Structure 1
Amino acid sequence: MPVLNRIASYAGEMKGWRRHLHENPELEFNCHETAAFIEARLREFGIEEIHTGIAKTGIVALIRGQGEGPVIGLRADMDALPIDEITGAEYASKVPGRMHACGHDGHVTMLLGAAKYLAETRNFAGTVALLFQPAEEDGGGGEVMVKEGVMDRFDIAQVYGIHNAPNLPLGHFTTTPGPIMASVDTAVVTVTGKGGHGATPHECVDPVVAIVAMVQAVQTIIPRNVYALDEAVISVTMIHTGTASNIIPETGTFTATIRAFNPEVRALLKKRFHEIVAGTAMAFGVTAAVDYDWGYPATINSEAEAHFAASVAREISGDQAVDEYSNREMGSEDFSYMLEQRPGAYLFLGIGPGAGLHHPAYDFNDEAAPYGASFFAKLVEKALPL
């Protein structure tokens, strides 16, 4: 049986929730209407311990079981992306320039589905903490919730989360012990020289050639400073300078995204990036200022909890539909802050073929929601048995 019968019985209701959320996307910490919708559903389920205003619009709701036991945290992110939707769906975003292009509407729906079931049955000993988090895409809402003390305040012992995966077969789960998603840092380098006429470069100090040299040089960090089996990425994604073909500009900037799994490798990348930029600037006679944003850490599953989560997934979808040692992802996720505080695991759930994440044609597959809701519910019943 792929999903719990009771959860399957209100799959249509879950579809309605999800499509309402999809029509009304909100960004970053400004998830006011989304939070109000979630709170209303939770109260309909008979959940009374609801704490709002965490990380501005986040929610922590508690479901008490039928006996004493630890607290299991289940997390769903709530925010959308600044993208114009092109799906043409009848439930497409009503807000120009915003859409749920990463499936957080589906994540909320899966957790609401599990909440409804768990509130009805309470077939567990302990407490479930439902963590509805804003600002995963931008702002680090997971970090803010942790800094505001949710783990200690609600005595959370373990924490779990799911992300949907387009083009993974519907209902298939993947996870892995240890690092599953990379850290992400962003470097913005501003290079200043001496501008002038393009016909007289000898009278100028050209920031353009210095930027070109820096971009080429930072690409040597990974193949020449990082052990070949320690995966890492440095991608220069923006270069901005100049106004006309006959003007050597005064300044220019370039931006890089920098990703790794190992904290020591992450620190090495930062060190070498600064050294190479400074050395290249000296060689070309320019000045260079580096704004290095230390972003989300790597998402690292604890080993025992990853194996436990995979065993629960197999009960939902079967042995052949669960990859317990999947490849790691170079994308990042602020659920990492919660996993730094508590043991737990992050999984991917297949939603079948379709446009990829962050694409304007992306849409969450409503058929996947009962799988995710059933996973959350079954995990609680197995982790907190009566």
Structure 2
Amino acid sequence: MKVLDSLTKQASSIAAIRRDIHAHPELCFEEIRTADLVAQKLTEWGIPIHRGMGKTGVVGILKCGTSDRAIGLRADMDALPMQEFNQFAHASQHAGKMHACGHDGHVAMLLAAAQYLSKHRDFDGTVYFIFQPAEEGGGGAREMMRDGLFDKFPMQAVYGMHNWPGLKEGQFALSAGPVMASSNEFKITIHGKGCHAALPHNGIDPVVVACQMVQAFQTIISRNKKPVDAGVISVTMINAGEATNVVPDHCELQGTVRTFSIDVLDMIEQRMRDIATHTCAAFGATCTFEFERNYPPTINHPAEANFAREVMADIVGADNVMAQEPTMGAEDFSYMLQAKPGAYCFIGNGDGVHREMGHGEGPCTLHNPNYDFNDALIPLGATYWVKLVEASLR
């Protein structure tokens, strides 16, 4: 493994920053302290900054040489609204907030790379260090773009990275094409006719309609979607009624839809709307159908993905650069990849044995209250960022 020596030597100081961020988690668009810390470090290292993009976003600008070529490197900064179970020294100090997805580690790896590149400057062009707010449902990438990210900071390509529990420490995973799904939500309110539960013939039972609807939605996946296309419809909430002896007036269904393509998503939304409308009509009910598209699918560009894989292989060896198994999780870096060529990779976080005394008893998986980022990744992840810049901006 070819990790840069100076990154290994500075790893403990960057890990201390990571743990400080972990202890002070901030939710989407509230990353004021984190952004202040990022801005302070970049400024210390002689890197000009731009603040306030996407409300709390920070962009570091490092220029070297005369080329007008540029590359963007992105790290997300926000935490999750959940209680941490770990009790080690750097556990969350804020109840109901936790860095359970490793964004603290993503910030640390990019800061380490920024510090190295500011010292060595072995490239010709511009590096934009993009510290993004609100990945966890807030669409911070989209908001930074709306505030002119790619207009103010023109770049030829943009890259992102996420830690991946279960993938071995010292391994990367990257593939061209779809690697994360679109994220979408639906809410269907079925309007029936309430009545006494002992006299159901006097009403229109929305719960019965809901049961039919939930079953019918699964036929979209099994009978309307091509078997080779990926898609998920999950009804995760059903709310109705207030008393055991009353047929309720309405019933509400909510859930999520995930796909790797917009065409499949278009089909699923239309079929769900048709099924909801006509199922209600068959029972004499009506419905209100709401479908909200959140994050689009994350689709890596082939040229940039292949280029990044070559950089990784030079660091850890080709055998440790794995195929990136697509996941139905979603990621707002997808917005950036819709606007610019680039690639989004995984870096192995291991199986959790890195956690110190005082960790929770559960698994070290993403969005789990027992999770913690593996600090051993900081030099490796930073080396990847550095080598990617140097190879892109020769």
Please give the TM-score of this superposition, normalised by the length of structure 1.
0.98
Deviations 1:1-57 (A, max 9, x none): 33111111101011101000000000011111110010011111111x210000100
- In 2, the alpha carbon distance for the partners of 1:250 and 1:317 equals 61
Find the counterpart in structure 2 of residue 304 from structure 1. 303
Is 1:375 matched with 2:384?
yes
In the alignment, is the contact (CA less than 8 A) between 1:25 and 1:100 conserved in 2? yes
Contact 1:69–1:384, Cα closer than 8 Å, also in 2: no
In 1, distance between residues paired with 2:130 and 2:380? 19
Confirm or deny: 8 A CA contact 2:164 2:347 kept in the other structure.
yes
Tell me the equivalent position of 2:129.
130
- Dislocated runs of 4+, deviation >4 Å: none
Q: CA deviation at 1:127?
A: 0.3
Whether the aligned pair in 2 keeps the contact of 1:192 and 1:252 (CA below 8 Å) is yes
What is the rounded CA distance, in whole Å, between the counterparts of 2:135 and 2:211 in structure 1? 33
**1:349: which partner in 2?**
347
1:39 maps to amino acid: A
What amino acid sits opposite 1:356 in the alignment? T
Deviation at 1:117, TM superposition (A): 0.5
1:19 and 2:19 matched? yes
Query: What amino acid is the match of 2:122?
Result: N
Partner SS for 2:232: strand
Pair 1:334-2:343 in alignment: no
Q: Distance in 1 between matches of 2:150 and 2:91?
A: 35
Letter in 2 for 1:120: K
> Are 1:365 and 2:347 counterparts?
no
Aligned length: 383
Corresponding residue for 2:257? 258
**Counterparts of 2:276 and 2:145 in 1: how far apart (Å)?**
34
Query: Which amino acid counterpart does residue 379 of structure 1 have in structure 2?
Result: L
Letter matched to residue 329 of structure 1: T
Measure, in 2, the Cα distance between the counterparts of 1:192 and 1:279.
13
* In 1, Cα distance between equivalents of 2:313 and 2:351: 21
Find the aligned partners of 2:338 and 2:191 in 1 and give their Cα distance: 39
Q: Secondary structure at the match of 1:143?
A: helix
Please give the residue correspondences for 1:1-386 in structure 2 after superposition, counting only pairs within 5 Å: 1-47=1-47, 49-323=48-322, 325-354=323-352, 355-385=364-394
State how far apart, in whole Å, the 2-side matches of 1:149 and 1:340 are: 15
> Matches of 1:272 and 1:44 in 2, distance apart?
55
Gaps of at least 5 residues in structure 1 are none
User: Post-superposition shift, 1:184?
Assistant: 1.1
> What runs of 5+ residues in structure 2 fail to find an aligned partner?
353-363
Cα RMSD after superposing both structures:
0.9
Q: For 1:367 and 1:5, how far apart are their aligned partners in 2?
A: 14
Q: What is the percentage of aligned positions where both structures have the same residue?
A: 47
Q: TM-score w.r.t. structure 2 length?
A: 0.96
